[in-house]
Amino acid sequence: MVTGLRMPSISYVVARSEPGHVIGCDNQLPWRLKTDLKHFKTVTSNHVVIMGRKTFESIGKPLPNRFNIVMSGRAQDSSKNLFFANSKQSALYFADLLSVMHNFQDVFVIGGGAVYDEFREVFNKVYLTEVYADIKGDAHFDYDFGSRDWQLIEEKQFLQSEADQFPFAIKTFKKRGTRSRKRGLSSFLKPDESLKAWEAEQLEKIGVAGSGANLLEIIQPKLPFLEEITS
């Protein structure tokens, strides 16, 4: 009997200057790195991405081939791959639901600074681009990925080129001692009262009618890789 569902990892994707740890200036990236943009697309495609309103506005449109969840207190119309959530709780709940339905292994938090802060206690992996340049900016990402708490599992160095304004490195860190996230089945199928109406509205947008106790039955055909957790 299924008593719980394994949830995706919460992963950050972030680019910052080194030194200075600048991630933005006037709501824009303060560099041109085509190679890093290709890496970002490769890592996040066919997954759920969570971002803040300002980050979404700087991008200008939903990222294709991804479910885009925008954390914003301003109610806006959603579409098939774009959803607006007014809290961390609702954003993460729906990101987990979409990920379980599509067998996604990661949820990617892509900024900005305030949204990184929201998920600080739960993220356990980071795809970190370090841009080797002295950059002026108004947004920073001052997290420490020291070897005591984080394991460097991959690192690639890139030289300055016609495609890339500055030299940079892409590093992947995983938090030591990370344990899989899971949600109890009953709480997953019956979210807090404050989320029920919002959840039903979002499910309707992706073609899933219904919520609550019958949700598992409704989405079961969409869960070919459902993992049972009995402990």
Q: Taking a C-beta distance cutoff of 8 angstroms, is the pair 24, 38 a contact?
A: no
Is residue 2 in some structural domain?
Answer: no
Is residue 161 in some structural domain?
Answer: yes
Report d(CA 8, CA 44) in Å as an integer: 13
Is residue 105 in some structural domain?
Answer: yes
Q: What is the pLDDT of residues 66-96, one digit of tens each?
A: 999 999 877 666 677 899 998 898 899 889 8
In this prediction, residue 1 carries a pLDDT of 47
Cβ partners under 8 Å of residue 98, min gap 6? 48, 67, 104, 206
Q: Taking a C-beta distance cutoff of 8 angstroms, is the pair 112, 71 a contact?
A: no
- Distance, first Cα to last Cα, the chain: 11
Is residue 225 in some structural domain?
Answer: no
Q: What is the pLDDT of residues 91-131, one digit of tens each?
A: 998 898 888 888 899 999 999 999 999 999 999 999 999 99
The range of the structural domain enclosing residue 91 comes to 7-181
Q: Taking a C-beta distance cutoff of 8 angstroms, is the pair 185, 4 a contact?
A: yes
Is residue 119 in some structural domain?
Answer: yes
Residues with pLDDT less than 70, the chain? 1-4, 75-78, 185-192, 207-231
Which CATH number is 161's domain given? 3.40.430.10
In this prediction, residue 18 carries a pLDDT of 96
| β-bridge pairing 125-131 and 168-175 | antiparallel
Residue with tokens 């990370």: 178
CA-based nearest residue to 71, from 24, 110, 11, 115: 115
Is residue 201 in some structural domain?
Answer: no
In this prediction, residue 31 carries a pLDDT of 96
Is residue 218 in some structural domain?
Answer: no
Q: How many domains does the chain have?
A: 1
Report d(CA 6, CA 224) in Å as an integer: 14
Is residue 210 in some structural domain?
Answer: no
Cβ partners under 8 Å of residue 161, min gap 6? 35
Report d(CA 97, CA 24) in Å as an integer: 31
Burial of 50 (0-12, 13-18, 19+ CB in 10 A): buried
Report d(CA 195, CA 116) in Å as an integer: 22
